[in-house]
Amino acid sequence: MKAITNLFKIEKKPLRGLMAIEWLTVAYLVFTLVIVLFAYTRVENPQAMIWGRVRIAAMTAALWAAYRMVPCGLTRVVRVTTQLALLAWWYPDTYEINRMLPNLDHVFATWEQQWFGCQPALYFAAALPSHLVSELMSMGYASYYPMIAVVVFYYLFCRYNEYERAAFVVLATFFIYYVVYIFVPVAGPTFYYKAVGLQEIAAAHFPAIGNYFNTHTDCMPTPGYTDGVFYQMVESAKAAGERPTAAFPSSHVGVATLCMLLAWHARSRRLTFVLAPFYFFLCLSTVYIQAHYVIDAIAGLVSGAALYALLMWATKRKW
């Protein structure tokens, strides 16, 4: 109740400028805008991308103005939540930029073969075909955004003094991953296997496909129990916004690892224990449903922990 009451309390010393999380969005916006302008003739929809950024800037300014008129916790939360919600818009935007570059899946599939002697993404679901395992994996994968929301809102209502810090760390992690995705165009097994054919993959032949994904966005159907509730959720999410981008490192594993560490930082055993099984199945599911190579998942785990340590250290003085 106290946290809810604080949301409506008028601040005595309201923030005059943009919040840190908004400056972060502005920095990423400007960075990607420069790329779009320099590659204007090569980008597929440059005008739409530019106007999209103009709208985000206008929205940020409007929310700042609303806060200045009513400076309270609620308007601050709306400003923060809006920037996090815009991640759904920024994600496919990476594809619009990185598809100008030659695809690198053949490199990662080759490394996968050298390290593991096979393609785990090709055989994982086949080795564990039961309906229960399939649904648990799909449940884990589908819990990605709910996990993020649960952790952020836990900070809002239970650790309000660090709410903006937690939101900033989450958004900064996403943007760092997005920068990597722009310059490291890896689509993942579900797209690459579809592009070259399963016979080629089974024969350990991984041809380079260059700019294939500049014009093709087809992927393989998710393996597993097709009548499962969580299976259908994953398939619907793929159909709604999946693009051949963002495979390395796995942001699903990276951000989920970050969320677990934020739960640990909040010293909430209950939150940590509740999230733990979802986290476990999410990490496994990235390979099981063929969204990522094992290399991607390992890189996500390491980078997620590293970014948590780096960003929490960098924000220690401000919050």
Q: At what angle do helices 269-288 and 294-314 cross, to 10 degrees?
A: 150
**Is the pLDDT at 3 greater than 80, yes or no?**
no
Mean model confidence pLDDT for the chain: 95
User: In 70-143, where does DSSP find H-type helix?
Assistant: 73-85, 87-98, 105-116, 120-127, 131-142
Q: What is the pLDDT of residues 210-238, one digit of tens each?
A: 999 999 999 999 999 999 999 999 999 88
**Is the pLDDT at 8 greater than 90, yes or no?**
no
Q: What percent of the chain has pLDDT over 70?
A: 99
pLDDT for 155 equals 96
Phi-psi label, residue 262: left if phi above 0, alpha if psi -120 to 50, beta otherwise: alpha
pLDDT for 317 equals 79
CA distance 144 to 131: 21
pLDDT for 159 equals 92
Q: What percent of the chain has pLDDT over 90?
A: 91
Q: What is the pLDDT of residues 238-292, one digit of tens each?
A: 888 789 999 999 999 999 999 999 999 999 999 999 999 999 999 999 999 999 9
If we measure between CA atoms, which residue out of 251, 261, 54, 58 comes closest to residue 172? 251
If we measure between CA atoms, which residue out of 93, 43, 89, 32 comes closest to residue 214? 43
pTM of this prediction exceeds 0.75 = yes
Q: What is the pLDDT of residues 93-103, one digit of tens each?
A: 999 999 999 99
pLDDT for 319 equals 66
pLDDT for 44 equals 87
Helix (H) or strand (E) holding 12: none
Task: Taking residues 69-85, report their average pLDDT.
Answer: 95
Phi-psi label, residue 188: left if phi above 0, alpha if psi -120 to 50, beta otherwise: left
**Is the pLDDT at 2 greater than 70, yes or no?**
no
Q: What is the pLDDT of residues 16-48, one digit of tens each?
A: 999 999 999 999 999 999 999 999 999 888 999
pLDDT for 305 equals 98
pLDDT for 11 equals 86
Task: Taking residues 139-166, report their average pLDDT.
Answer: 95
Task: Taking residues 191-195, report their average pLDDT.
Answer: 97
Confidence of residue 5 (pLDDT cuts 50, 70, 90): confident
Residue type for 65, please?
A
Task: Taking residues 304-315, report their average pLDDT.
Answer: 97
**Is the pLDDT at 59 greater than 70, yes or no?**
yes
pLDDT for 238 equals 86
pLDDT for 241 equals 78
Task: Taking residues 184-204, report their average pLDDT.
Answer: 96
